[in-house]
Amino acid sequence: MALLPGLWPALLGIVLAARLRGSGAQQSATAANPVPGGPPDLLPHFLLEPEDVYIVKNKPVLLACKATPATQIFFKCNSEWVRQADHVIERSADAASGLPAMEVRINVSRQQVEKVFGLEEYWCQCVAWSTSGTTKSQKAYIRIAYLRKNFEQEPQAKEVALEQGVVLPCRPPEGIPLAEVEWLRNEDPVDPALDPNVYITREHSLVVRRARLADTANYTCVAKNIVARRRSASAAVTVYVNGGWSTWTEWSVCSASCGRGWQKRSRSCTNPAPLNGGAFCEGQNVQKTACATLCPVDGSWSPWSKWSACGLDCTHWRSRECADPAPRNGGEDCPGAGLDTRNCTSDLCAPTTSGPEDVALYVGLIAVAVCLLLLLLVLVLVYCRKKEGLDSDVADSSILTSGFQPVSIKPSKADNPHLLTIQPDLSTTTTTYQGSLCPRQDGPGPKFQLSNGHLLSPLGSGRHTLHHSSPTSEAEDFVARLSTQSYFRSLPRGVSNMAYGTFNFLGGRLMIPNTGVSLLIPPDAIPRGKIYEVYLTLHKPEDVRLPLAGGQTLLSPIVSCGPPGVLLTRPVILAMDHCGEPGPDSWSLHLKKQSCEGSWEDVLHLGEEAPSHLYYCQLDAGACYVFTEQLGRFALVGEALSVAAAKRLKLLLFAPLACTSLEYNIRVYCLHDTHEAVKEVVQLEKQLGGQLIQEPRELRFKDSYHNLRLSVHDVPSSLWKSKLLVSYQVRGCAWHARGSGTADPSVHLCVGSPQEIPFYHIWNGTQPHQHCTFTLERVSPNTSELACKVWVWQVEGDGQSFNINLNITKDTRFSELLALESEGGVPALVGPSAFKIPFLIRQKIITSLDPPCSRSADWRTLAQKLHLDSHLSFFASKPSPTAMILNLWEARHFPNGNLSQLAAAVAGLGQPNAGLFTVSEAEC
């Protein structure tokens, strides 16, 4: 023990080397067991072992270990012995066993660790000796602690709506040991244990489940370890509230106590009010509508009747009624009595007994009463039997079993052999339609049963066109059969506004020429194996009762397609004109459908369509295209949201084709701008012998409650003179109003200029071809030149001016302006001939564009090229989105669609096989 300190490690090394040079068995006994024969409990064991530690900045760390019984303890760091001089040794005795114990401590500096930094981790362990052998402690790792300044990801400012979730990400700076993260809200710690609406993820992101107004604050992410504490930049979270409308107030009292006035209602953007930059409510806060309060009319007595004959009681009487006029609308009743009685013989009359004549009179009256009672019973019995017959649940089976009778067969073109064509299969057996044409609400299911036969089979090479083979017999018979059903009693008895045909799974098209009304039946819309006889009907507004509420107005014709209740597997497309000028802030448009019970209901609010809805609508500038899987009676109705809402009117000027008298009548028609309205007037004027004398004009008629005014100006007084009386008629056509006042009682005679058509007569849309007739009178029969101006304008609105300069005896230059053009030639087209796109080409396009494409060269791109991308959700809800797009293209572009443009749009999608879709007009 007296050795110098520098010689002790050398001596220890020699001893260790000698031990290591010993035999393997002896070496094993030394390491694991005491010397043979020695006691087993003298092998050192550690009371204290070195532990992992971090070096903070430049401060050295202290490692310590303690063992008993131990004669020597040394540290080994990274496989190298630590110098003896670097050890601090303390010897003692173990209090529990009394054996000698030794405790050793060393200091490890930052420089020592940095020498091996990057190669391996720096470690140290103790080795203890006793007379029985050696024991090693666990390794203690020494690491340099640090925490970098910059966060790997800092939270960002956000604006979120109320009740919306918020996620603030935070990735702390790199450091050893790993940094712990906490969040501050306005410098106050966020504790998920106290607030269940927030939690912190394993990735240290702060999540607010549902944002509250109280969550508007500055959020800071704090990272810390034993070295330092870092703060991220603060992220401002703003929880905003979008404004919401309160409920409408009740309509105010009408501004006019008598007659037409205004009433309004309002709402406020306070449910909730916008907060923290939230959006203000969209739409109007005030709605205004017209109202009419009926003026009270006081009753007035009619003249007294003549005195009755003198009665047995020596009195006679006379009466009067309070009906000239009768009191109404809260008016006061007539004052006084309605019966006046007085003595008729100056009290000289005495009662007398009844003679034989009086007895005969009473007997006759009783006999008449008995006869009337018997007649009433007979009428009741007849009525009950007829009602039973009408209520029987059997429809005329011939509605659906009439045969396919083609009369026009066009051969296919020789250079187009791939086209799918059809020929009639007259051997097919059709079945009957059993049951009511309107499905019962309580029935188990539809009663429509058809055979599996195909009326149209894809054989041969010809196209077939179905149209009325006998207009005077077959068409009238078809209408007569439909009109026997209770639901169809309002169908027109004529056939000019009706089309019908027999269809199977190949589909087809019905159209009513020159009306803008058509029905497209796409392929596979009718189930395979079934055959339907389908009709399309255009109704006159005055023939169908369509109740309109508030400020609603009819914008389209009323159209029926049927029979209702048949099963369709794909939507058909009903096309019809409308006269509205749609705008997001001016109109609220609704599609109405009449139920089998006769009531009308809103089935679609345009702009709020759901993809899974039974009805969908594409609204163009002058037409609407309704996708529907249920046939029935439809109409497009608009409700004006502001005075900016306008309807398009068509102004037409007609005059007699030949003038044989001194009078010359100019009729100014103010029509809804639809093909159907123009068609009716043209047909009417042909019957009346009229001709068009000016080019038609359009007029925007606003919902301003102002009337339409018409006037004639600049008439040469030397050649013509204007009649004072001008006729205006809501229904029908008034040629002129005679100065003597002997015109038709249904015609309103107006005196003076200008004349007016009431606002509501035009706006409600249910009164057709309204017009005013101006009558001019020639001074001389030789006068043939007419020059004047006709003005038509809405009070405080738009107007049109017509300059008339013509020879009334021979001027026919405008006669061809309204020549009716044929739409496709026939009312019904069956199979491939009803479509512009060849069947095989259509199938190729569908097969190629339906599957999603990573390069976006699929049906979505085609919809964008055709400006239909606003309907992507509707197309995506169908089994074949491409088929829906092509069906809509067919409905919008038949028969004059440019097939080359469609082919170019398809070819431009970038598909590898896009050349397959190139279609020439010759192939069609």
Looking at residue 853, its amino acid is C
pLDDT the model gives residue 612: 67
Burial 674-690 (b: 16+ CB within 10 A, else e): bbbbbbbbbebbeeeeb
**Are the CB atoms for 563 and 540 separated by under 8 Å?**
no
Residue 743 — pLDDT band, cuts 50, 70, 90? Answer: very low
Range with the poorest average pLDDT among 263-272, 363-372, 681-690, 894-903: 894-903
pLDDT, mean of residues 171-180: 90
Q: Around 563, how many Cα atoms within 13 Å sit in the side-chain half-sphere? A: 30
pLDDT the model gives residue 914: 46
Residue 217 — pLDDT band, cuts 50, 70, 90? Answer: very high
pLDDT the model gives residue 21: 39
Q: Is a pLDDT exceeding 80 seen at residue 109?
A: yes
Q: How far apart are CA 689 and CA 256, in angstroms?
A: 46
Other C-beta atoms within 10 Å of 604: how many?
Answer: 23
Structural domains of the chain in order of their starting residue, each with its CATH number: 45-146 (2.60.40.10), 148-240 (2.60.40.10), 244-293 (2.20.100.10), 497-633 (2.60.220.30), 646-726+749-821 (2.60.40.2660), 836-923 (1.10.533.10)
Give the chain's count of helices (H) and strands (E): 13, 53
Q: Is a pLDDT exceeding 70 seen at residue 825?
A: no
Q: How far apart are CA 209 and CA 215, in angstroms?
A: 11
pLDDT the model gives residue 822: 41
Which residue would you say has higher pLDDT here, 810 or 655? 655
pLDDT, mean of residues 686-698: 87
Q: Which of 1-15, 456-470, 767-781 has the highest mean pLDDT?
A: 767-781
pLDDT the model gives residue 384: 77
Which residue would you say has higher pLDDT here, 905 or 154? 154
pLDDT the model gives residue 356: 58
Query: How many residues are listed for the chain in this entry?
Result: 924
The pair of three-digit structure tokens given for residue 750, joined into one six-digit string: 């107006």
pLDDT, mean of residues 104-114: 88
pLDDT, mean of residues 180-189: 92
**Are the CB atoms for 278 and 242 separated by under 8 Å?**
yes
Residue 453 — pLDDT band, cuts 50, 70, 90? Answer: very low
The pair of three-digit structure tokens given for residue 226, joined into one six-digit string: 């034993």
pLDDT, mean of residues 245-255: 89
pLDDT, mean of residues 327-348: 80
pLDDT the model gives residue 689: 84
Q: Which of 97-101, 266-270, 738-742, 898-902 has the highest mean pLDDT?
A: 266-270
Q: How far apart are CA 431 and CA 892, in angstroms?
A: 34
DSSP string, 536-574: EEEE-GGGS-----TTEEE-S-EEEEE-TT---SS-EEE
3-state SS, residue 722: strand
Q: How far apart are CA 611 and CA 231, in angstroms?
A: 49
pLDDT the model gives residue 536: 93
CA of 772: how far to CAs of 532, 665, 693, in Å?
Answer: 45, 10, 15
**Are the CB atoms for 729 and 748 separated by under 8 Å?**
yes
CA of 129: how far to CAs of 77, 80, 126, 136, 260, in Å?
Answer: 17, 17, 10, 9, 117
- Sign of the CA dihedral 670, 673, 676, 681? positive
Composition of the chain by helix, strand, coil, percent to 5: 20, 30, 50
Looking at residue 65, its amino acid is C
**Nearest to 628, CA basis, from 887, 893, 890:** 887
DSSP state of 699: E
What share of the chain has pLDDT > 90, as a percent? 22
Residue 269 — pLDDT band, cuts 50, 70, 90? Answer: very high
Q: Which helix (H) or strand (E) holds 357?
A: helix 356-391
Other C-beta atoms within 10 Å of 51: how many?
Answer: 11
**Are the CB atoms for 629 and 568 separated by under 8 Å?**
yes
The answer to whether the bond into 564 is cis (omega within 30° of 0) is no
**Nearest to 653, CA basis, from 721, 621, 699, 622:** 699
pLDDT the model gives residue 64: 94
Q: Is a pLDDT exceeding 70 seen at residue 393?
A: no
Other C-beta atoms within 10 Å of 380: how many?
Answer: 10
Q: Is a pLDDT exceeding 80 seen at residue 154?
A: yes
Measured in degrees and rounded to the nearest 5, phi and psi for residue 114 equal -70, -20
- Where in 609-742 does DSSP place strands (E)? 615-619, 623-628, 633-640, 646-656, 663-672, 690-692, 697-702, 708-713, 720-722, 725-729
Q: Is a pLDDT exceeding 50 seen at residue 459?
A: no
**Are the CB atoms for 715 and 776 separated by under 8 Å?**
yes
pLDDT the model gives residue 606: 85
Please give the order of strands across the beta sheet that includes 45-48. Answer: 45-48, 61-68, 100-108, 88-93
pLDDT, mean of residues 359-376: 84
What share of the chain has pLDDT > 70, as a percent? 74
pLDDT tens for 841-870 read 888 888 888 887 766 678 888 888 888 888
Looking at residue 56, its amino acid is V
pLDDT the model gives residue 792: 92
Q: How far apart are CA 367 and CA 364, in angstroms?
A: 5
Q: Name the CA dihedral angle for 177, 182, 188, 192, rounded to a multiple of 10 degrees.
A: -140
pLDDT the model gives residue 25: 31
Contacts of 257 (CB under 8 A, 6+ apart): 293
Residue 669 — pLDDT band, cuts 50, 70, 90? Answer: very high
Q: How far apart are CA 63 and CA 87, in angstroms?
A: 10
Residue 723 — pLDDT band, cuts 50, 70, 90? Answer: low
pLDDT tens for 398-414 read 333 333 333 333 333 33
3-state SS, residue 96: coil
Residue 130 — pLDDT band, cuts 50, 70, 90? Answer: confident
Q: What is the CA radius of gyration of the chain?
A: 50
Range with the poorest average pLDDT among 155-164, 551-560, 708-717, 723-732: 723-732
pLDDT the model gives residue 400: 31
Measured in degrees and rounded to the nearest 5, phi and psi for residue 624 equal -125, 145
pLDDT the model gives residue 13: 44
Q: Is a pLDDT exceeding 90 seen at residue 169?
A: yes
Residue 908 CA, chain-centre distance (Å), reads: 30
Q: How far apart are CA 908 and CA 899, in angstroms?
A: 14
DSSP string, 888-901: HHHHHHTTT--HHH
Residue 783 — pLDDT band, cuts 50, 70, 90? Answer: confident
Measured in degrees and rounded to the nearest 5, phi and psi for residue 600 equal -100, 140
pLDDT, mean of residues 206-229: 91
Q: Around 582, how many Cα atoms within 13 Å sit in the side-chain half-sphere? A: 20
Quote the mean pLDDT of the chain.
76
pLDDT the model gives residue 32: 37
Measured in degrees and rounded to the nearest 5, phi and psi for residue 177 equal -70, 170
pLDDT the model gives residue 349: 55
Contacts of 324 (CB under 8 A, 6+ apart): 300, 301, 302, 303
Q: How far apart are CA 789 and CA 803, in angstroms?
A: 5
pLDDT the model gives residue 9: 43
pLDDT the model gives residue 479: 54
3-state SS, residue 508: strand
Range with the poorest average pLDDT among 204-218, 267-281, 726-740: 726-740
DSSP string, 762-804: HHTS-S-SEEEEEEEEESSTT--EEEEEEEEEETTS-EEEEEE
pLDDT tens for 5-49 read 444 444 444 444 344 333 333 333 333 344 344 445 588 989 899
Residue 819 — pLDDT band, cuts 50, 70, 90? Answer: low
The pair of three-digit structure tokens given for residue 860, joined into one six-digit string: 């979505």
